[in-house]
Amino acid sequence: MTTSTLTLDPHKLRARALGRKDKDGEARTDGGFSLIEIMAAMAIIAILALAILPQFGKFFERAAVQNLAGEVSNAALLVESDYSLTGKSTYSAAGVSASVANSKKSTDTTLSATTLKADGTAASGTNPGYGYRITGTNPGVTNYTVTYTSIGATPGLVITPK
């Protein structure tokens, strides 16, 4: 090989700069990682993956809770809209359960409605309902309860851990 060929070959130049020589005294051009280096890198990646993995479950459940809270809030808006449009004096007369049943929700979400007395307890029989409570359940939400209450000590949307 001529000297001009050696100076134009970038692999030979790099090998010469690093001082690598084979058994014949020629500059070595082979390079790469050893098996131990590759295994050490894979072990580090596996440890990092195991540290991050539990966070993904929390992320998906948090997203499911937000979806369920949105669906419960939408059902409450529909109840209020239907109540004001009917002009009825109580929520039980306005048909809270029918409004909640007609609200748009995902296929695996279940919404249930209860009419409430003025003190926030469940209304029954001939007792008129002056408020309501909507409870939402979803298989993706296992650690939280999502409720919307229109009357009582804590009105509004409440997300409580189970």
Q: Give all strands of the β-sheet with 156-161 in edge-to-edge order.
A: 110-116, 131-137, 144-149, 156-161
- The residue ranges of DSSP E strands in 70-143, in sequence order, are 110-116, 131-137
Q: For the segment 128-141, what is each residue's pLDDT rounded down to a tens digit?
A: 778 889 999 999 89
> Average per-residue pLDDT in the chain?
81
pLDDT-above-70 percentage for the chain: 76
Which of 15, 13, 9 lies closest to 29, judged by CA?
Answer: 15
Pick the more confident residue, 145 or 97: 145
Average pLDDT over residues 60-75: 91
- Using pLDDT thresholds of 50, 70 and 90, give the confidence band for residue 97: confident
Question: What's the rounded Cα separation, in Å, for the pair 157 and 63?
Answer: 16
Fold of 35-161: Glycoprotein, Type 4 Pilin (3.30.700)
Pick the more confident residue, 95 or 74: 74
Question: What's the rounded Cα separation, in Å, for the pair 45 and 65?
Answer: 31
